[in-house]
Amino acid sequence: MHIISTSLNINCYKSLNHFRLKPLSKILSFYSSSIIPCSKLPHYKTKLEKSQCKWRTNHIFVQTNPLLSLLETKCKYMTQLKQIQSQMIITGLFSDGFASSRLIAFCALSEKGNLHYCKKILYNMENPNTFSWNMAIRGCSESENSKDGIFLYKQMLNMENPNTFSRNMDIRGCSESENPKDSIFSYNQMFITKGSECSCLKPDNHTFPLLLKICSRLGLYYMGQEIFVHVLRFGHDHDVFVLNAMIHFLVSCGKLEDANKLFDESSMRDLVSWNSLINGYVRSGRPREALMVFEKMKMASVEPDEVTIIGIVGACGQLKNLELGRKLHSYVMDIGLNFSIPLCNALIDMYMKNESLHEAKALFDRMEERTMVSWTTMISGFAKLGLLDEARRLFNEMPDKAIVQWNALIGGYVQAKRGKEVLALFHKMQTLNVKPDEVTMLSCLSACAQLGALDIGIWIHHYIKKHKLCLTVSLGTALVDMYAKCGNVEKALQIFHEMPVKNSLTWTAAIGALAFHGNGHDALSYFSKMVDSGLIPDDVTLLGVLSACCHGGLVEEGRKLFAEMSANFKIPPKSKHYCCMVDLLGRAGLLHEAYELVQRMPMAADASIWGALFFACRVHGNVEIGEKAALKLLEFDPADSGTYVLLGNMYVEANMRHKARDVRKMMDERGLEKTPGCSSIEVNGKLSEFIVRDKTHPQSDQIYESLIHLTRHMEIVNYFPFIGYDLLHDTDVYCAT
């Protein structure tokens, strides 16, 4: 301690290079026993005041002070910082705003710092300067308690002399918080009615953008409007920084028309303004409007930058406009714009969405440095296009794989309905100690639902519980769907009722579970409860309810709901809804009504609709409509052997054997063979597939012996299954297909 004081008094800075900080207990002991009593002596006070004056009048002397150097070179812990703070108080250096702000910076930003102590220093400063507040706010923004920044902002409005800019940084801290919801509510309680004549420190052009950022993150549209009133009241509506923040806020809340209007009415817009609007349209899935703004930008002679190009490239990807995307790529090369990693990633994504795999791969190969986003874009692009082997090859080439890449590959297998590979990858993750996240679990549960693998689904459910993964609404909904599709509707409904929060997808999953198992009345009851809860059903929910009516044979209820789709819920029926109604009417034998419904459709009927009608005609023996439906199906897929087989069966059942032979002849001429049936079973977590007449299974002898035994048992109990006529094997007898 004495060495430091002496060095400071005689400006002997070199001796401090060898200074070693002492334990805090000794410093505090010295400070409490010597410094405070000495401060009561007149000569000490005079000395301290002179020292403080020295710091104030010689700022260069402050900046080069060795105590401040210790903060950067020697100070690693809070105990050491407190020692330095003690010396700054002793020598009067603490009274200088620049010097004290360095203490705040260490407390706020250092890994070994202490945000609470940072605030204590700030509150005890006589006149904290801008940098001091900035450092404190930045510390708040990077902490778990970033909402504390809003309280500093409240103090700004209630104190006469605090520094405005520093409080702005406090709001920034709140806006960067993981959960800034409380901070905006705090704002709602403060300074709403004070006008521009108030004596408090007024918000400036840095304050409002930070507040609007909070509203943008939380989607608080009405709060943002209230803040904009403050912008007008305090005269910051002509500030381009505030304008850009307001445009970004409106875009984030989906108010793109309002954002465009504000943009057009302003004369202060800059490149950031253009970029905010362009990227807002792109993020909202409105690429055409983004391109229109880009054209206006060129007419205004505003040169685009990298952010602009990235946004427009994204629009080209959404529009599948490969030609414009290539022109942008050439434009970047012509103007010599740096091919940054984000720009390369955007171009790769655009090429992938346009299915230009060669160009995407060529650009990827030319990248000197690849980020996780680069690899993920390529893997995800190949996977979405069904090129899973190429996606797997890239995945294996990755030097370091994160969970994002695992999820991209797994998601591709889910999309391709290759559930076995999904579960195999999940098992590999376990062996490599890769921790799955919610996205992984969602994909695995979807795979179990596709495969009907209940045992594996139960194991994944236990895994979620064991590793204490947060049971989000999405994860709970996936569990409901998995249990329902695997046949355990009771467990599905149990999870549904245990979920504290449900969204429309959760209700849809529960309704689908009941529909899948033929509980039509219960499904309708759940639908009524969903509507009563205030949730608005979407087209998927209504499809689930229609399916419930279909499986339950509830014709009148289905007709009523189908009519209410447009009238009450403002959802025009889509092709899938028409298909469900055709299936419902067809199952009930109302084939003419079903056929008339197909004829009245506002869109062309697809293969699924004609297929539903055809199968119903085959069941009810309506050859006239069945022939029309079959011919339509063959227009969609002339090589579908299943349609020929079912048509031939329908002819045989109607005693029209000559037509059945004609169908068989057509198949022979076109070289078509009946696709063998396939089924699967899960035993002890392992899936086994069985194909008709296949004997490649290692236990095929035992399997066929069991089938023979079952067939004989059915004959004993006089059960003779009849499915149809096998055109491919015998034209004179009935047999199971």
Task: Verify that 722 and 618 share a domain, yes or no.
Answer: no
Task: Verify that 563 and 577 share a domain, yes or no.
Answer: no
Does residue 661 form part of some domain?
Answer: yes
Task: Using DSSP, state whether 91 is helix, strand or coil.
Answer: helix
Q: What is the mean pLDDT of residues 398-425?
A: 91
Closest CA to 162 of 187, 121, 118, 125: 125
pLDDT at residue 362, as a whole number: 92
pLDDT at residue 54, as a whole number: 46
pLDDT at residue 25, as a whole number: 40
Does residue 64 form part of some domain?
Answer: yes
Phi and psi at residue 683, to the nearest 5°: -130, 120
Share the mean pLDDT of the chain: 77
Task: Using DSSP, state whether 92 is helix, strand or coil.
Answer: coil
Task: Verify that 640 and 579 share a domain, yes or no.
Answer: yes
- In SS3 terms, 285-348 reads as CCHHHHHHHHHHHHHCCCCCCHHHHHHHHHHHHHHCCHHHHHHHHHHHHHHCCCCCHHHHHHHH
Tokens of residue 628, six digits: 């029309």
Task: Using DSSP, state whether 689 is helix, strand or coil.
Answer: strand
Task: Verify that 398 and 495 share a domain, yes or no.
Answer: yes
Q: Which residue has the tokens 């103090």?
A: 155
pLDDT at residue 647, as a whole number: 83
Tokens of residue 438, six digits: 């919610």
Give dist(CA 291, CA 295) in Å, integer: 6
State which residues form the domain around 118.
56-137
pLDDT tens digits, residue range 35-77? 333 334 344 344 444 444 444 444 444 555 667 777 766 677 7
pLDDT of 416 strictly over 60: yes
Give dist(CA 553, CA 404) in Å, integer: 44
Residue with the larger pLDDT of the pair 38 and 359:
359
Task: Verify that 589 and 547 share a domain, yes or no.
Answer: no
Does residue 418 form part of some domain?
Answer: yes
Provide the sign of the torsion angle of the four alpha carbons 573, 575, 581, 585, taken in this order: positive
Q: What is the mean pLDDT of residues 659-666?
A: 82
Provide the sign of the torsion angle of the four alpha carbons 423, 429, 433, 437, taken in this order: negative
Q: Which residues does residue 64 pair with via DSSP β-bridges, in sequence order?
A: none
Task: Verify that 539 and 606 share a domain, yes or no.
Answer: no
pLDDT at residue 428, as a whole number: 92
For the ranges 205-219, 450-464, 638-652, 657-671, the maximum mean pLDDT occurs at 450-464
User: Among the three residues 89, 115, 137, which one is the final residue of a domain in this structure?
Assistant: 137
Residue with the larger pLDDT of the pair 44 and 535:
535
Residue with the larger pLDDT of the pair 30 and 236:
236
Phi and psi at residue 689, to the nearest 5°: -105, 145
pLDDT of 289 strictly over 80: yes
CA 188 and chain centroid, separation? 29
Task: Verify that 492 and 390 share a domain, yes or no.
Answer: yes
CATH code (residue 621): 1.25.40.10
pLDDT of 397 strictly over 80: yes
User: Among the three residues 675, 693, 726, which one is the final residue of a domain in this structure?
Assistant: 675
For the ranges 90-104, 183-197, 402-416, 658-672, the maximum mean pLDDT occurs at 402-416
Residue with the larger pLDDT of the pair 371 and 680:
371
DSSP structure string for 387-410: -HHHHHHHHHH-SS--HHHHHHHH
How many other C-beta atoms can be found within 10 angstroms of the C-beta atom of residue 556?
8
Task: Verify that 565 and 580 share a domain, yes or no.
Answer: no
Q: Which residues does residue 683 pair with via DSSP β-bridges, in sequence order?
A: 686
pLDDT of 7 strictly over 50: no
Please check whether residue 273 is in contact with residue 243, taking contact to mean a CB–CB distance below 8 angstroms.
yes
pLDDT of 27 strictly over 50: no
For the whole model, what pTM was predicted? 0.61
Does residue 327 form part of some domain?
Answer: no
pLDDT of 242 strictly over 90: no
pLDDT tens digits, residue range 595-617? 999 999 999 999 999 999 989 99
pLDDT of 652 strictly over 70: yes
Measured CA distances, 422 to 408, 429, 456, 509, 587 (Å) = 11, 11, 12, 22, 36
How many other C-beta atoms can be found within 10 angstroms of the C-beta atom of residue 466?
8
How large a percentage of the chain has pLDDT more than 70? 73
Give dist(CA 71, CA 550) in Å, integer: 75
User: Among the three residues 472, 501, 530, which one is the final residue of a domain in this structure?
Assistant: 501
Closest CA to 540 of 500, 570, 509, 514: 509
Of 256-270, 387-401, 690-704, the one with minimum mean pLDDT is 690-704
Q: What is the mean pLDDT of residues 122-137?
A: 69
Does residue 107 form part of some domain?
Answer: yes
DSSP structural state of residue 726: -
What is the number of domains present in the chain? 5
Query: pLDDT category, 145, cuts 50, 70, 90?
Result: low
pLDDT at residue 719, as a whole number: 59
Please check whether residue 312 is in contact with residue 325, taking contact to mean a CB–CB distance below 8 angstroms.
no
Q: Which residues does residue 691 pair with via DSSP β-bridges, in sequence order?
A: 678
Task: Verify that 566 and 581 share a domain, yes or no.
Answer: no
Task: Using DSSP, state whether 288 is helix, strand or coil.
Answer: helix
